[in-house]
Amino acid sequence: MTAIGPTVGRGGAPTANTTTGLAGVYLTVHTPRYCTYDAAFAGKLAHPNFQAVRDGLVAQGSHVGTLAPDVVVINSCHLISTFPTVVDGTPRHTGILTAQEAPELIHGVAYDVPGDFELAAAMIERGRAAGLQCTLANDVHYPLDYGTVMPLVCYLDRAQRIPAVPVSVCLSADLHESFAWGRHIARAAAALGRRAAFVASGSVSHKLVRGPEQWPGAAEQELDHRLARLLADGEYDKAWAWLPEYAEAAEPEMGGRHLAMMLGALIETGRRFDATVHAYGPSSGSGNYVISLAC
């Protein structure tokens, strides 16, 4: 099985504009073998099956650089909370990451990324007003997970200059609550005049097997491709209506909560975004899409 080639939707690289609110949306990848320093910076890959996604992540980083957002709001499937959704407003995220899940691959990764407390607090205010259980983190000891650090440090913002606001995936939140958070994120960014990028960091189909080079099954790949086509065609409402069925059949990472939040953010804008589908590839039986969307 081979990866589909990079395809472009209605547009390619983003163009500079003064749009406030949600200026870009990124479905990205954090699987360890794509996101080691060797893979990211030296292009040393453990298997040829990883090449397309690695190159797609490099292209996605260029896309972010051209978009030049004021802030990145990133929802990682490895920043997990149980009851409240956690929004991390720490003014500066600093630390050294060794991933508990994969210490042999991700270890001693230093990060030093600015935050945006004002935006994080505004998101929490909107969530609470809507009756959603949530917590604002403001603590230099609150660690970042590898699903947040590795895409940003290795690909999306190698210079670590763009302020980042991490948002948890909440186990007690269903798809509808996750979708609502996406809407609050877009609203808060617009109200503060931020040109924000939203990043959903996670796999699509996620039926894991041992063997990092293994592809998803044919049925799961087709489901992933259908989701990507809906995003590329700007059919966000159709994607949202289909998401529960897709989540049950494809078993995306964290139940597809990151996808619901992404769709909530997109739909809230009321706009269609130019889409670039950079790559699709495997990791231990999961499907991994790299897709960039910009106004």
Per-residue pLDDT tens digits of the chain, which is 295 residues long: 333 444 444 455 675 555 789 999 999 999 999 988 899 999 999 999 999 999 999 999 999 999 999 999 999 999 999 999 999 999 999 999 999 999 999 999 999 999 999 999 999 999 999 999 999 999 999 999 999 999 999 999 999 999 999 999 999 999 999 999 999 999 999 999 999 999 999 999 999 999 999 999 999 999 999 999 999 999 999 999 999 999 999 999 999 999 999 999 999 999 999 999 999 999 999 999 999 999 8
Q: What is the pLDDT of residue 17?
A: 54
DSSP bridge pairs for 28: 201
Q: What is the pLDDT of residue 8?
A: 43
Residue 162 φ/ψ region, left for φ over 0, alpha for ψ in the -120 to 50 degree band, beta for the rest? beta
Tokens of 295: 């106004």
| 198: helix, strand or coil | strand
Q: What is the pLDDT of residue 12?
A: 57
Q: What is the pLDDT of residue 97?
A: 97
Please, how many CA atoms are within 13 Å of residue 104, restricted to the half-sphere of its CB? 0
Q: Which residue has the tokens 């699987």?
A: 31
Q: Give residue 207's identity as a one-letter amino acid code.
A: K
Distance CA 226, CA 201 (A): 19
Which helix (H) or strand (E) is 20 found in, with range?
A: none
- CA torsion, ordered 119, 122, 126, 128, to nearest 10 deg: 110
Produce one character per residue of 89-128: b if its CB has 16 or more CB atoms within 10 Å, e if not: bbeebeeebebeeeeebbeebebebebbbbbbbbbbebbe
With CA atoms as reference, report the closest residue to 242 among 217, 259, 266, 218. Answer: 259
Q: What is the pLDDT of residue 20?
A: 86
Q: How far is CA 190 from CA 151, 161, 184, in A?
A: 25, 21, 10
| 94: helix, strand or coil | strand
Q: Is the dihedral of CA 8, 13, 18, 24 positive or negative?
A: positive
Q: What is the pLDDT of residue 6?
A: 40
